Amino acid sequence: MSIYQIPIASLQGSPALLNLVEGKVTLVVNVASACGLTPQYTALEQIHEQFAERGFSVVGVPCNQFMGQEPGTPEEIAEFCSSTYGVTFPLSEKVDVNGDARHALYAELTQKADSEAVDGDIRWNFEKFLVGRNGDVLARFSPMVLPDAPEVLSAIESALA
C-alpha cells in the first residue's frame, strides 16, 4: 500500500499532508522537541535542502509517546522547529506511533524491518523511514542512525536514481 494514500493532517491542521510529497522520495521521521536526539533536526533540514530539487522531502511527525518529549501545542512545535533549527520541511499533526491509537501511517511504516531485522514498534524519537516515489517503504533506520549517515544518504541516492 502506498503511504501517500493514508490521510494525515499537517501541524497546522490542513488535511492530506502527504499529498504535498506524493511522487517524491520521502524520509518520514517521528520527531520530538525535548529529546537528546533533537539536534538531528539540523541534519534533517540539511538533507531536505540538499536533495529537494531532485524530488526529495523530509516529513516530521511529532509524537509525545516517549517520556513526554513533545508536549507542545502545534504552534509551539512549529515555532521551536523554525526558530531553533530553521526547519522548512513539512510537519504533521502530533500522533501516536505505537499502541492501540497508533496512526495508520505508522501501522504501515512499522511493517518494514531495519538492517538489524527490527520491525514493529517504534523504539524512540527520530526513527526514520525512507519511502519511494510510489509510496512503498524502502528502508528503516534506527533513531541512533544520523540522518546524514552514509547508509541513509546512499539509500536516498539510490531511491532518487
- What is the set of active-site residues? 35
- Stated length of the chain: 161
E-strand stretches of 6-159: 25-31, 56-62, 128-131, 137-141
End-to-end, the C-alpha distance of the chain in Å comes to 22
- For residues 25, 28, 34, 36, the Cα torsion angle rounded to the nearest 10 degrees is -80
Could you identify the residue written with the cell 531495519?
114
- Report d(CA 95, CA 97) in Å as an integer: 6
Residues ≥6 apart with Cβ < 8 Å to 10: 17, 20, 90, 91, 92, 93
